[in-house]
């Protein structure tokens, strides 16, 4: 921060030669040393001429030549005994205009972009300066710039109440506007649909285009309230009310909830969560719907595959690339099998193994 008395300017504005010249001229006019009145008049005329010639600096166009002409005319019409008061009034006007210029300068500067990512098998929590909290699911990337957040993957947002500008969360085809609520957004790069689930409060959801040259809304905003879900595909926003938000954001609490989800989609989710490679060679098995609600705390991928096998009449095996889900019950790989049963000795029965 720098400037002459009464005016503080952004660091970096000294790079503008026009502004520097104006700042020096203002300093000489409104904070002159002990110089004759005639010299003050000369400096004032020089400053006014500079604005007539368009040298005011790129950040101070609000100090127009017309404005200075009016100020100058007013100044000359005042009796000599009030000249100092007139100078003070002109100084205040110039200071206000300078502050407006500073605000314009600040607003024209791009917001810094902060990027956060997780890999498969990872989760992360991001806290914003206003107290908002963002939970990143596996294989997710977000870019935060001011009040805008771009998402690729899945994230849960706990946005602090905002009295001013709305927070805007965007995917490649969706914009979500929020003033303070809890909701999740899911859109991986291979997803055709963006899913928005609202836990509390309400948000505005609209479809948007995302071309290299421009980004624009292509649908009217739709209000989505708590316990509702919006799915956005192409230019259509479909809202389903009365959903269980807890089921869609169960991953936040280390739970897996699948209700009629095709097994191929379940496997894709498990690959992200456990950073592994599970494949289903059989197309019929891949389409089979799965009903499962299980906590993942303390469970390995092998534990989960066993549960899936019981629910879908399948079993898993593995090769050098990862795991395979095969139809029908089969033999569990030896290294994953439970240890063989043996009879306990008399001491073990009495005192424990």
CATH of the domain at 270: 3.55.50.30
Three-point CA angle 253, 255, 258, nearest 5°: 135
CA distance 140 to 152: 6
Looking at the structure, do residues 228 and 144 belong to the same domain, yes or no? Answer: yes
Looking at the structure, do residues 196 and 168 belong to the same domain, yes or no? Answer: yes
Supply the DSSP symbol for 352: -
In a domain, 76, yes or no: yes
Can you give the pLDDT at residue 110? 73
Looking at the structure, do residues 238 and 279 belong to the same domain, yes or no? Answer: no
Looking at the structure, do residues 124 and 199 belong to the same domain, yes or no? Answer: yes
Q: Output 343 or 230, whichever has higher pLDDT.
A: 230
Q: Average model confidence (pLDDT) for the chain?
A: 78
Looking at the structure, do residues 73 and 178 belong to the same domain, yes or no? Answer: no
In the structure encoding, which two tokens stand for residue 190, read together? 């291979």
Looking at the structure, do residues 272 and 240 belong to the same domain, yes or no? Answer: no
**257-268 average pLDDT score:** 96
Q: Output 96 or 174, whichever has higher pLDDT.
A: 174
Can you give the pLDDT at residue 39? 61
Question: Please, which contacts does 66-75 make with residues 24 or more away whose CB atoms are closer than 8 Å?
Answer: 67/93, 67/97, 72/44, 72/48, 75/44
Looking at the structure, do residues 232 and 130 belong to the same domain, yes or no? Answer: yes
Q: Residue 31: which pLDDT band, with cuts at 50, 70 and 90?
A: low
pLDDT above 50 (res 214): no
Can you give the pLDDT at residue 2? 45
Among 4-18, 96-110, 264-278, 317-331, top mean pLDDT goes to: 264-278
Looking at the structure, do residues 126 and 231 belong to the same domain, yes or no? Answer: yes
Question: How many folded domains does the chain comprise?
Answer: 3
CA distance 182 to 160: 9
Read off the pLDDT of residues 162-202 as tens digits, 9 standing for 90 and up.
877 899 999 999 999 998 899 999 999 999 999 999 999 99
Looking at the structure, do residues 229 and 121 belong to the same domain, yes or no? Answer: yes
Are 163 and 199 within 8 A, CB to CB?
Answer: no
Dihedral angle of Cα 242, 254, 302, 307, to the nearest 10 degrees: -30
Question: Please, which contacts does 190-197 make with residues 24 or more away whose CB atoms are closer than 8 Å?
Answer: 192/233, 193/231, 193/232, 193/233, 194/231, 194/232, 194/233, 195/229, 195/230, 195/231, 195/248, 196/224, 196/229, 196/230, 196/231, 196/232, 197/228, 197/229, 197/243, 197/245, 197/248, 197/249
Domain range enclosing 188: 114-247
In the structure encoding, which two tokens stand for residue 112, read together? 């810094």
Question: Which CATH number goes with the domain that contains 202?
Answer: 2.60.120.1440
95 half-sphere exposure, CB direction, 13 A CA radius: 16
In the chain, what is the straight-line distance between the N-terminal and C-terminal CA atoms, in Å?
74
Three-point CA angle 331, 261, 142, nearest 5°: 110
* Domain termination site, one of 208, 228, 247: 247
pLDDT above 80 (res 341): no
Handedness of CA 86, 92, 95, 99 (dihedral sign): negative
Q: Residue 268: which pLDDT band, with cuts at 50, 70 and 90?
A: very high
**303-331 average pLDDT score:** 91
In a domain, 102, yes or no: yes
In a domain, 190, yes or no: yes
* Domain termination site, one of 108, 132, 156: 108
In a domain, 2, yes or no: no
pTM: 0.64
Looking at the structure, do residues 151 and 228 belong to the same domain, yes or no? Answer: yes
Are 179 and 147 within 8 A, CB to CB?
Answer: no
Looking at the structure, do residues 45 and 167 belong to the same domain, yes or no? Answer: no
* Domain termination site, one of 228, 247, 266: 247
In order of 180, 224, 258, the CA distances from 289 in angstroms are 36, 28, 9
User: What are the start-end ranges of the H helices in the chain?
Assistant: 17-30, 37-52, 65-76, 83-108, 245-248, 263-274, 283-287, 301-312, 346-351
* Residue 96 three-state SS: helix
Can you give the pLDDT at residue 3? 45
Pairing of β 148-158 and β 133-136: antiparallel
CA distance 317 to 325: 7
Looking at the structure, do residues 241 and 269 belong to the same domain, yes or no? Answer: no
Can you give the pLDDT at residue 288? 97
């Amino acid at each position: 921060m720098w400037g002459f008395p009464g005016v503080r300017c952004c660091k970096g504005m000294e790079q503008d030669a026009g502004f520097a010249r104006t700042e020096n001229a203002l300093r000489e006019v409104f904070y002159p040393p002990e110089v004759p009145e005639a010299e003050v008049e000369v400096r004032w005329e020089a400053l006014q001429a500079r604005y007539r010639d368009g040298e005011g600096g790129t950040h101070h166009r609000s100090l127009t030549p017309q404005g200075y002409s009016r100020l100058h005319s007013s100044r000359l019409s005042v009796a000599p005994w009030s000249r100092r008061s007139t100078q003070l009034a002109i100084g205040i006007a110039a200071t206000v205009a300078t502050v407006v210029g500073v605000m314009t300068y600040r607003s024209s500067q791009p917001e810094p972009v902060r990027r956060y990512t997780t890999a498969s098998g990872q989760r992360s929590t991001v806290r914003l300066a206003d107290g908002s909290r963002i939970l990143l699911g596996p294989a997710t990337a977000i870019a935060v710039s001011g009040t805008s957040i771009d998402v690729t993957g899945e994230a849960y947002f706990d946005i602090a109440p905002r009295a001013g500008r709305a927070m805007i969360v965007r995917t490649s085809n969706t914009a979500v506007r929020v003033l303070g609520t809890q909701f999740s957004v899911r859109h991986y790069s291979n997803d055709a649909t963006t899913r928005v689930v609202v836990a509390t409060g309400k948000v505005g959801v609209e479809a948007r285009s995302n071309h290299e040259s421009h980004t624009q809304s292509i649908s009217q905003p739709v209000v989505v309230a708590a316990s509702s879900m919006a799915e956005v595909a192409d230019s259509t926003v479909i809202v389903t009310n009365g959903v269980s938000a807890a089921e869609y954001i169960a991953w936040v609490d280390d739970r897996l909830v699948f209700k009629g989800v095709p097994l191929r989609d379940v496997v894709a989710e498990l690959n992200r969560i456990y950073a592994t490679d599970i494949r289903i060679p059989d197309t019929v098995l891949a389409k089979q719907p799965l009903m499962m609600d299980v906590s993942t705390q303390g469970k390995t991928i092998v534990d989960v595959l066993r549960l899936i096998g019981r629910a879908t009449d399948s079993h898993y095996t593995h090769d050098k690339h990862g795991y395979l889900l095969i139809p029908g019950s089969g033999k569990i790989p030896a290294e994953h099998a439970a240890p063989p049963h043996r009879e306990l000795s008399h001491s073990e029965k009495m005192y424990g193994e």
